[in-house]
Structures are given as C-alpha cells and as structure tokens.
Structure 1
Amino acid sequence: MFLKADKQHQYILIFILLFTLVAGIMIVICPPALFPDPSWGFQVMRSMQMGGGFNQLITPSQSNLNNDNIAFLTWWSPGQYLIPYLFSSLFHTNAGQSGALTILLCDVLGILGFYSFFKKVGFSPMVSALSVLLIASQQFYFIPFAFYNGGETLLFGFLGWFLYGCFSFKKINWQLFVFVILTGWVGFICKSAYLWMYASGMACLWINLSFDKKEISSWVKNGIILSIPFLISLGSIFKLFILRGTNPASVSPGFKLSLEALCFPLASPLLSGFSVDELTHGLICHQDEPYFNATQTLFVLALLALLSVGLFWAIIRFVPKPQYKIAISMFYGVSTLFFLSVFLRQLDISYEGRHFRIVGLLFIPGTVYLFSQLKPFFKYAFIALWICVAFTSFKYFVNSYNANTHINAHGTSGFSQQFIDQQALDHLQQLDKTAPPNALFAFISNDLGLDILHHRIISMDAFEEGAAATYIANNEYDGHSGPLYILLPQAFVKNKNVEAFKVCFKGYKNFTIKPISKGYVLLCGE
C-alpha cells in the first residue's frame, strides 16, 4: 500500500508545497507571535538598525541608566534575525513579515531537502514522499506558523541538504574541503546547537567515504584528512563567536544523577519525531497545564525510552538501507551521549524535544518503511493514528492563526503580541512618539520592546509570585535617565507586586500608576 511504483509521490510533494505556500502567505499577511529566544535576536536586529555594530545588543546599563551596555550576543546564534534582516533590507518588510518569509523559505527548503536525502540513502520516492508528508502533518511543523522559533526553523531548512551532502561524496577532493568548512559555518549561523549535529554528520561522512575500505590505515587516513577542514571550521566558530561571550554551556551548577537525564535522550525519537512532547504540552518543560504528575511523567518517559530503543533496533534489523543505518546510528548515538552529559551537568539547556528534532526526523522514513511491510491491520492502525495527529496539528494551526489575527495585538514590529492588548499597545506606541528623548520603556516580556522605535528599552525577567526578593536582586537598576514607563498587567496592582518594580529602580522616587487599558497599567517613574 505504501510502496506502489507510480507517480503518486509527485502529487504528495505538490500538495505539501502548496499547503506550505498558502500557510506562508497567510502569515505574511498576519505574522506569527515570537518565541522568547529569537526575541533577543530581534532586539539585536533593532540595535543594528539604530546604528549598533554587528550582533551587538545595546541596552541601558544596570549600573547607570544614563549609560548603555553593549554586549556581543553569543547565547544564541545570529541566523534567527540575520535572515529576516536580509528580507527586511531587500523588500522593506517589517520584522514580523520578514520572519514569516523566513519560515516560508525554510519550510520549502526543508521539505525538498529531506525528501532528497531520504531518496539518497535508499528509500523509494513513495516512502520518501510519505515521510515528508508525515513530517508536515505534525504539530512541530505548524509551530513556526504560530510562533516564530528562530533556529529550529532555519535548521529544518538546512539539515536535509547537509545530510544529502554527507552521503554524496565518494572521494576526498577540494570540493569536500569546501563543503565541510562552509556547512560548519552555515549550520552554526542557523543555530548554535548545530555543533553536535555537525560532529554527527562528519562521522557519517567519514564512514561513508571509508565504508568499502578494508585497511584500517585507509580509515585513519580519511579521518585525519577530514579533521583538517572540520577543525578549521570549528576553530573559527569558537574564535570569532562563542568565546566572545557566555552561552548555555558556560556554567554548570554541578553533577546530578537523574532518571530524566538518561531517559529523555533515549526517548528523543518519539518525543521529537512524532510530536509527543508537543502533544503533551511539554512532558517535562510545560508550556501549558501538564498532562501528567511527576510520577506519571517518569513512567511515561521511561516507556517512551524503551519504545524508542525498540524502534531503533527494529530499523537496524529490518530496514535494508546501509547508508540510512549509518545516519540514524550516528545521530541517535551522538545526541544521547551529548545530552546525557548536558543534563547530568545541569547545563542551561531545557528538557524539550525540539533540541532533538533531527533525531526524530531521521527515524520517520524507517518507521514508514517498517509499517509498509506489516499486515494490513497494523498499516491501517498507523494511518488512523497519523490522521488523528494531523487533525490535532491542523486544529492547532487554525486556533493559533485565529488568535494571532483576531485576539492578539499588533504594532509596528508586525509580530503578534500575546502579552498586551491592542489599546495598551496603541497607547505605548503613541507615547513612544511623544515622550522625551531620554525616556525609558521597561517590559517583563522581551518581545514587546520591538514595538518601541524611538527610545531605549529594558527587558526585565518574568515576575514569579513569592520571589520578590530574588527578583529585585536580579533586576536592580541604578541611576536616573528620563521618564520611566514600566508596562505591567492590571493584576499586579491588586496583588501589590508593583512595589517590587519600584524597588528595582533606585534612582526613581515618585511613582504613579496609570491604567491604559482594561488589562494593563503603566508604572510611571520620574
């Protein structure tokens, strides 16, 4: 049923690309909201548009609000805002529209790239087309159409072609050197987490080049030669970017042994490749109300780990595609070891399936192939589950797009703003036009400042109930500039949380609270 040798795969590809094009046009008309991580990148883009240097985040200094703090942003890679910056420069679009164009481009490139790679490693056109249809049916594919997520979108557009290249070279030549160096740079620009994927891809390339060599010396020789451009690319990334600031791996609070640290990487094929993490609202890191309590979560996680390992064994045992087995073994193995180390050392990387997305994507064609070899009952069961997931994903897209279009606020940035209403945003943008040049605007959501065009902005941490003392310690600002405007939810007034924000700004004494909409107030300092 899955393997008919006809031209149906072409219709599947056309359907996916047409749907992606229509959805892409829709979000260009009404851009998505913005995840927190790329919000920082767009703040860098804002700083550059206002005259700052490359990749420099310019913010008011906490030690003296009259001065600016200039930081080279190394926590996240620059591609999340550089590609939109390119679209903005070429087509004079706002940031939201530029992000939407980036999503459209990367999703088209990603579908074509993974389809080409799946065929490259031995799968038929039909299995390859069904695999990318399964990818495009899942919630993680729809997320960028609701929330621009930066690096994940860029990597999706790049990784299929990177993998295709890793299995295209038959001998070592100058083109191979260029490929290794450039893919290191381009992938890192897409997302800094690419580095472990880069190492996995180089392992695939080395094995693929040496696979038919019987002499150990040939394997060693190929490894040494490949390490030269690999180290050149990696060394330049560390020298020119990573070592210029902090990143999630900069500080470790210590070693901690836990079941989550072991099971989460092992469970990554199902968590990330089949949207389990998204469908459960985040198995460990919750975006919404969690589905399971702590004990249930550990049980589900352990079960998913066992099922993922079983799926890996079945693919290695029953899928007759040697190159594909190399790819899935290297990426699953390297990711497990890498993230096990990360989680045991408690580095600042969250337990989210999105970090393992490439592992899940690689498992998809093998899974489709396995079910194509089973009896009709299992095939129909798989298709029924697939339809349910696709329906859930499409419903997510419709609801999110409706919220972005009709509920969330929209300002000059173009992005859909969730944490402010339209009346309050209109008031802020008018105040931005009329306030004195030295006025300051402060927000507890780092995307809102993108709609302030003429003044300096402060992005404060999100406030947690019952942690006022810690909050103040981390968000203290000394000195006095011009008028200060802090946007806060109306509920903060009732709970008296505004007092914590007054203490954060020691140089300001006279504070007033001004309601600017039904849900928001301005805490104004002089």
Structure 2
Amino acid sequence: MSAKKSSLYKFILGAIGTVTVILGILVLLYPAAIFPDPSWGFQVMRSMELGGGFNMLVKPDQFDLAKNTSEFLTWWSPGQYLVPYLFKLVFTVNTGQAAAITTTICQIIGLAGLYAFFKKAGFSPLISALSLVLVICQQAFFSPYIFYNGGEVLLFGFFGWFLYGCIVFNKPGIRLVLFVLLTGWIGFICKSSFIWMYAAGLLFIWIRLSEGQTTIKGWILKGLWPGIPAVISVACIYIFYLSKGINPSSSSGGIKLTWETFSFPLASPLLSGFSADDLSNGLIYHNDVPIFNYTWAIIVLLILAILSIALIRAILVYIPNKNYRLMLIVFYSVSVVFFSYAYLREMAISYEARHFRLIGLLVIPGTVYLFAYLKQAYKIMLGLVALFIMAFSLMFYIEGYKRIKDENPHGASGIAQQFIDREAMDYISKLDKQSHNALFVFISPDLGLDIVNNRFITLQPLGPDISINYDEWIHKGHSGPIYILLPSKYIGIRASVYLKCFPGYKGFSLKEISGDYVLYYSNSYR
C-alpha cells in the first residue's frame, strides 16, 4: 500500500471516530427520546429498582387496582435495559444519560468490530474504512442519537465481532465451543431477533468445518462441534427466559401471501445497505407520510429485489475472498427463508429494513470493492449516492436534535418525552410530588418512566375505528385518585372509551393542562 493510501484510511478512521465521539457528547447533554420497545424494558428496570425481581414488570392488578401484579416480560430481550441499568449503577446517572452512554459505547464498539471483520474478510484497510463511511452515512446510524432503540444499537455493537468470530474460529476445539455457546447468549441478550443470525452463523461455521468431507457421517461429526453448544445455548434461553411468557413467535395470524412476503426479504441488501426503505419513509410500514402508494411501493420493491439479487450475484462472482462470499450467500439465504416464513405466517415482525441491517452491513464492503475497480464515472456515482444518503440522514438528525434540545421536555428520567409538552409535564410532575397513592394512566409507555412516587398504567392509543377489547383494557377496583392524561383531540368519544376502562371510578373531572393535553381526574367510588 502506498504512503498516500496508508494515510488516507487512517484519516478516514480518525474522522469517523471524531464524529462518533461528538455525537455521543451531544446525546449525553440532551438525551434522546425512546422507542416504545425499550420503554417497556425501562419499565421493568424501574420495577427492579423498586425491589421487583429480575425482568419482572410490576404493575397495578387489572382485576383489583388496590393490588399489584407481576409479569415476566419475554416479548423483548433484556439487554435494552440491563446495559443502561449497569451504567446507572456505575456512574449514578439518570435513565436518559445511561441510554446515551449505551448508545455511544455500542456505536464505537460496533464500528471497530465491523472494521476488524471487513479486514478479516479480505478487504484492504482503505476499502474497509470507506465501507465504514457508508455505514455512518445511513439514518440507521444516526437514529439512536434521536430515539434510543435498545436492542438495535446493542446488536450493532455486536454484529461485527460475531461475524469476525465466525471466520476466526474455524477449527474444532474448546475455543469454538465457547464461542458458539457465549455468542448465543450475548446476542440474544442484545436482541431476540439475533436467533436467525445465530443460525446463519452456525451454518457458515459448519460448512467451513466440513470442507473436504465427502460423507454424510463426516458432515454430521463436524456439525457436532457447533451443534452441541448451540443446542445448550438455545435450550437455556428457552428454559430460563422465553418459556416464561409470550414472544413474537408465540402468535401467528394464519397464512397471508402478498407481493411483499418474499420481495421484501429479497430486496434487503438495498433496503438496508443503502437506506432505500428510510429514504422512502417506509415502503410498506410507515412511521411518516409515505412517498409511494401501495401499488407503486410494490413496484419499487420488486425492482429493488431484482437489483439486490443482481448485486449479490456480482459480489459472488468478483470478490476473491471465499469466506466472505460464503458468508454473504449463507446469511442472505437464511434471512430470506426466515423472514419470508415469518411474513407468510403473519408473525409480529414489521416490514422494516432495520430487521435486515446485518444484510446491509454485509453487502457494503463487497459493493465498495466492486465500484473501486470500475471506471471513474461509477466511483463518482457511488460517491454521489453516499452523499445523498448522508444529506438525508443529516436532515433527520438535525431536525430530531432540535426537537430534543428545544421542544421535547426532559423529566425525572432524563428521557426526551415525545408525547407530552413542557406545560403538561410540569403539571404531571407536580401531581406526582404531591401524592403517594395516586394512579396515573398514559397512552405511551415512556411517560410512566417520569413517575417517581406513584403507580401508573399504560394503555394503547386508540385506532381510527375506536374499537378495543375491553377484557384486555378494563381495570377494576379503586385505589386513590386517578389521573388520565390524553391529547386534547381525544375529548369526546375517544376519552369516554378510556373512562369506561375504570368502572370503579365515577364523576370524572376534565382539566385542560396545556394547549394540547387534558387530564381526567376522579377519586370517587362507583
């Protein structure tokens, strides 16, 4: 490598590290908001801080509000709150700051792991560094600084090192056994969806171990080395965690075959690796106003699927490192099979590119390598694509940071609250300080994290049809004053639905506590 190229990749790595540290400092000064999933995890952490058992969500009993009930929460993996909990204990910070520290450390460790993996997979330091540039251009990289996403950022910190280990531990022995055993546990603690990645990694290791074997018996014997510790790892996860409650694989909506069932997983290299899903505000699942209607979304999705398959094929043809080629085809194939089956069975997995982030990260260095050997015009085109993605991501970050800094209130938890304004937050905090036997009701799981002295209940926001299952929503009995916080637009029929969920109370009073939020209050027995 020339001295110029040597200094260039070092400069790129230094710039990436500096950007990551600066983003970490900013999110520590003004902690991010929080996705709903980790909000439930932080509710568990709050219960543990108040004396509850491990992973137990303590909440008011649905059948007698004067009592509490406990639930072992298995729908989400525990790492999303356990890691911040560790930082809370070590550094004596609030929940928002602990989440900020978690994000910063995971981002740094994740980038280091990916760089180590890229080099181990046969790419030069310069190609590996340029690949990291594409990684940090994406909205998925900036998102945790605006919305703490729990398992997503934890898994990012683990991705590269897991892939690195899959290549390094290529011989039977105790080191391989420990790697398979421990990565199963660590990955699941980060995020439960790691299970499919774990299966792909094991298949990759098995194929490499069995290289040269010509008999079925030989393949089986080689498969015992990763297979036995994997069975132990998964068995422990099931016995000590998943079996204690429901999880996304516990329920299914039957069979539903649509265009997106197979095309979405097939298109994952471009949906995730080059932010196509984020750039379109979600082709199928929308967090914002969609750019395409359903028909055009399907057309775009089919085109992206075809282009993704073409990209994978080109990488398999032209990339010289056989380990990287094998890993790419194994992980891509496993992801397509797993998610196509999950979507076909209508499991609780959304059509979002974030579920396929590992595929996007795997594709990036191969794509950079391909373009590095093409004509200058193609290199410029890839650079322009990266700049476009970066511009989009920066707009997302700047707008989000302004909201966190100037608009979203930060309460006792330190988390930027999205679904309450400052005036309403101050009023709720005052009520919480004045009473120790009150019951608060919210329609967002993050709001209860700012309740210090009292109990709270989280109900879901109402959909357009205003239909609910009262058996799941109703809370019987009476337990001190009750305060139900709702958006002002809920006044009327929507508010009445929530009031009926508490038949032990009557004579609710309405108070407008801000321009956008109202509070329903009662302390009268029915």
C-alpha displacement at 1:497, in angstroms? 2.1
What is aligned with 1:455? 454
Deviations 1:168-220 (A, max 9, x none): 12421112111111110000000000001011111122223333556654433
Which of 506, 509, 512 aligns to 1:515? It is 512
What is aligned with 1:428? 428
3-state SS of 1:67 partner: strand
Written as runs of structure 1 = structure 2, the 5 A alignment for 1:88-107 is 88-107=88-107
User: Do the aligned residues in 2 keep the contact of 1:439 with 1:483 (CA within 8 Å)?
Assistant: yes
In structure 2, the CA distance between the partners of 1:342 and 1:67, relative to structure 1 (3 Å rule), is same
Written as runs of structure 1 = structure 2, the 5 A alignment for 1:343-492 is 343-435=343-435, 437-467=436-466, 469-470=467-468, 472-492=470-490
Equivalent AA in structure 2 for residue 191 of structure 1: K
C-alpha displacement at 1:373, in angstroms? 1.3
C-alpha displacement at 1:466, in angstroms? 2.8
Written as runs of structure 1 = structure 2, the 5 A alignment for 1:13-162 is 13-162=13-162
Which of 499, 502, 520 aligns to 1:502? It is 499
Matches of 2:497 and 2:228 in 1, distance apart?
54
Matches of 2:510 and 2:68 in 1, distance apart?
27
3-state SS of 2:484 partner: strand
* Larger CA deviation: 469-478 vs 410-419: 469-478
Aligned residues: 523
User: Do the aligned residues in 2 keep the contact of 1:84 with 1:99 (CA within 8 Å)?
Assistant: yes
Equivalent AA in structure 1 for residue 315 of structure 2: I
Instruction: Report the aligned-residue RMSD.
Output: 1.6
Matches of 1:502 and 1:14 in 2, distance apart?
56
What is aligned with 2:225? 225
Matches of 1:516 and 1:195 in 2, distance apart?
46
3-state SS of 1:59 partner: strand
TM-score under structure 1 normalisation?
Answer: 0.97
Matches of 1:214 and 1:375 in 2, distance apart?
43
User: Do the aligned residues in 2 keep the contact of 1:2 with 1:372 (CA within 8 Å)?
Assistant: no
Matches of 1:424 and 1:459 in 2, distance apart?
17
Matches of 1:506 and 1:359 in 2, distance apart?
50
TM-score under structure 2 normalisation?
Answer: 0.97
C-alpha displacement at 1:492, in angstroms? 1.6
Equivalent AA in structure 2 for residue 461 of structure 1: Q
3-state SS of 1:441 partner: strand
What is aligned with 1:190? 190
Matches of 1:59 and 1:52 in 2, distance apart?
10
Equivalent AA in structure 1 for residue 62 of structure 2: Q
Equivalent AA in structure 2 for residue 393 of structure 1: S
Matches of 1:152 and 1:327 in 2, distance apart?
21
Matches of 2:392 and 2:51 in 1, distance apart?
44
Give structure 1 stretches of 5+ with no counterpart: none
3-state SS of 2:456 partner: strand
* Larger CA deviation: 315-324 vs 471-480: 471-480
3-state SS of 1:358 partner: helix
Deviations 1:339-394 (A, max 9, x none): 11100000111111111110111000011011111111111111111111111111
C-alpha displacement at 1:6, in angstroms? 2.2
User: Do the aligned residues in 1 keep the contact of 2:110 with 2:160 (CA within 8 Å)?
Assistant: yes
Equivalent AA in structure 1 for residue 480 of structure 2: G
- Identity over the aligned pairs, expressed in percent? 48
C-alpha displacement at 1:258, in angstroms? 1.3
Matches of 2:439 and 2:3 in 1, distance apart?
62
Matches of 2:372 and 2:333 in 1, distance apart?
26
User: Do the aligned residues in 1 keep the contact of 2:281 with 2:288 (CA within 8 Å)?
Assistant: yes
Equivalent AA in structure 1 for residue 517 of structure 2: Y
In structure 2, the CA distance between the partners of 1:491 and 1:4, relative to structure 1 (3 Å rule), is same
Deviations 1:467-488 (A, max 9, x none): 2x42645411111111100111
User: Do the aligned residues in 2 keep the contact of 1:472 with 1:501 (CA within 8 Å)?
Assistant: no
Matches of 1:357 and 1:384 in 2, distance apart?
22
Matches of 1:289 and 1:351 in 2, distance apart?
16
3-state SS of 2:65 partner: coil
In structure 2, the CA distance between the partners of 1:473 and 1:170, relative to structure 1 (3 Å rule), is closer
Matches of 1:222 and 1:455 in 2, distance apart?
57
Matches of 2:75 and 2:197 in 1, distance apart?
18
In structure 2, the CA distance between the partners of 1:313 and 1:481, relative to structure 1 (3 Å rule), is same
3-state SS of 2:462 partner: coil
Matches of 2:256 and 2:516 in 1, distance apart?
42
Equivalent AA in structure 1 for residue 510 of structure 2: I
What is aligned with 2:323? 323
Matches of 2:469 and 2:207 in 1, distance apart?
51
User: Do the aligned residues in 1 keep the contact of 2:117 with 2:163 (CA within 8 Å)?
Assistant: yes
Deviations 1:120-140 (A, max 9, x none): 010111111111111011111
